[in-house]
Amino acid sequence: MEPMANRRWRAAVATVMLAFAGCGGGGGDSAEPVDDVVRLQPGDRPVRFRLDGAVSEETQRFTVETLQWAHADLGDSGPLTLHIYSDAERFITAYTAEFAISIEDARLELAGGQTAFAAPGGHIWIYLGNYEQVPEEVRREALFHEYNHTLQEWQAEVRFQSQDRAERSFVPRWMVEGCAEYLAVKAGARRGFVDEKLERMYVVDEATQSSEVLQDLETAGQAGFIGGTGAAYTVGWLGCERLTTVRGEDAVAHAFWLSMAKQRDWQKAFAEAFGVTPAAFYKDFETWRATL
Ligand SMILES: [Zn+2]
């Protein structure tokens, strides 16, 4: 991929909705039952499908194959349900039935290029109108990113959110989005569908232009729906890279989230997983970032 193309696609891919963690059930059945097809992932996990009639065999095959890779490479994230819609109106009907979002806002998200997002309880939603317009490798990377969110939730056992720091369910947005993206890029590079060097160049370029410090991105830095990648994804990506340098990829992918299940407090989980307090890490990170 060319850098500029990459940048353009990135805007479409980065629109992700864990922001809904606090306000949607996500676990119930859609009011729009369509065609349930049960498939098996490695580990005999049933993957449940909610599809509309126009979802092609090839799209299903491609999506299942990619999620099988994600499962094998990133770890088990529990039961998964895929909601795949080819038609915008059906997508909006099913989506607004499950989440506290208006029809108007849902339309705006699709118009802004939303391809896929994850919701609590192992739900991955895909809108084919946008998903099928991006290159194959971008679709794979988007699925790896969303799969990472299902893994975060499964391991943390908490329906965490990134809006209210005072709640015990709080996890910084830069960790949720930055680590999902960073780990998707690392795993995608190992599978050969991501150019890691190019991705990092893009991220460093974006991060050096951003004036927001990492700590601000605990709640800020969400991706905009009409283009643009939120700093939680780019500066957060570097935050997770830095944590990996210090404590290894496993701490970022697993140990922190597992500790969250135990501690029910992100600052304690952070200290346990990375051996440093968030405050000390933020200081170290900004010093390091200034050298980029
Ligand atoms: Zn995300």
Q: How far is the centre of ligand 1, averaged over its atoms, from the C-alpha of 223 (Å)? A: 9
Q: How far is the centre of ligand 1, averaged over its atoms, from the C-alpha of 16 (Å)? A: 5
| Maximum distance among all Cα pairs of the chain, rounded to whole angstroms | 53
Least confidently predicted of 4-8, 64-68, 117-121, 207-211: 4-8
Q: How far is the centre of ligand 1, averaged over its atoms, from the C-alpha of 277 (Å)? A: 24
Q: How far is the centre of ligand 1, averaged over its atoms, from the C-alpha of 81 (Å)? A: 17
Return the pLDDT at 121: 86
Q: How far is the centre of ligand 1, averaged over its atoms, from the C-alpha of 116 (Å)? A: 9
pLDDT band at 191, cuts 50/70/90? Answer: very high
Q: How far is the centre of ligand 1, averaged over its atoms, from the C-alpha of 166 (Å)? A: 22
Return the pLDDT at 98: 84
Whole-angstrom Cα distance, residue 250 to residue 194?
A: 20
Asked if the model's pLDDT at residue 107 lies above 50, the reply is yes
Q: How far is the centre of ligand 1, averaged over its atoms, from the C-alpha of 154 (Å)? A: 15
Q: Where are the domains of the chain?
A: 3-156, 173-289
Return the pLDDT at 1: 29
Q: How far is the centre of ligand 1, averaged over its atoms, from the C-alpha of 58 (Å)? A: 25
Q: Does domain 3-156 have CATH number 2.60.40?
A: no
Q: How far is the centre of ligand 1, averaged over its atoms, from the C-alpha of 43 (Å)? A: 25
Q: How far is the centre of ligand 1, averaged over its atoms, from the C-alpha of 254 (Å)? A: 16
Q: How far is the centre of ligand 1, averaged over its atoms, from the C-alpha of 80 (Å)? A: 16
Q: How far is the centre of ligand 1, averaged over its atoms, from the C-alpha of 177 (Å)? A: 5
Q: How far is the centre of ligand 1, averaged over its atoms, from the C-alpha of 253 (Å)? A: 14
Whole-angstrom Cα distance, residue 245 to residue 109?
A: 35
Return the pLDDT at 281: 97
Q: How far is the centre of ligand 1, averaged over its atoms, from the C-alpha of 271 (Å)? A: 23
Q: How far is the centre of ligand 1, averaged over its atoms, from the C-alpha of 198 (Å)? A: 20
What is the token pair recorded at 54?
A: 């126009």
- What mean pLDDT do residues 222-228 have? 59
Whole-angstrom Cα distance, residue 77 to residue 120?
A: 11
For the stretch 13-67, pLDDT in tens is 333 333 332 333 333 444 344 444 444 454 566 678 888 878 888 988 899 899 9
Q: How far is the centre of ligand 1, averaged over its atoms, from the C-alpha of 17 (Å)? A: 7
Least confidently predicted of 80-94, 106-120, 199-213, 219-233: 219-233
Return the pLDDT at 13: 39
- What mean pLDDT do residues 222-248 have? 84
Q: How far is the centre of ligand 1, averaged over its atoms, from the C-alpha of 15 (Å)? A: 7
- What mean pLDDT do residues 154-170 have? 93
- What mean pLDDT do residues 287-291 have? 94
- What mean pLDDT do residues 215-236 have? 81
pLDDT band at 174, cuts 50/70/90? Answer: very high
Return the pLDDT at 148: 97
Q: How far is the centre of ligand 1, averaged over its atoms, from the C-alpha of 246 (Å)? A: 23
Indicate the DSSP class of residue 121: T
The answer to whether the beta carbons of residues 24 and 119 sit under 8 Å apart is yes
Return the pLDDT at 45: 61
**Which residue from 53, 46, 48 is spatially nearest to 27, judged by alpha carbons?**
48
Least confidently predicted of 5-19, 44-58, 119-133, 147-161: 5-19
Decide which of 250 and 18 is more confident. Answer: 250
**Which residue from 167, 184, 183, 240 is spatially nearest to 207, judged by alpha carbons?**
240
Q: How far is the centre of ligand 1, averaged over its atoms, from the C-alpha of 14 (Å)? A: 7
Whole-angstrom Cα distance, residue 198 to residue 247?
A: 24
Q: How far is the centre of ligand 1, averaged over its atoms, from the C-alpha of 68 (Å)? A: 19
Return the pLDDT at 221: 86
Return the pLDDT at 113: 81
Stretch (H or E) spanning 118:
strand 116-119
The answer to whether the beta carbons of residues 152 and 176 sit under 8 Å apart is yes
Q: How far is the centre of ligand 1, averaged over its atoms, from the C-alpha of 179 (Å)? A: 9
Asked if the model's pLDDT at residue 8 lies above 50, the reply is no
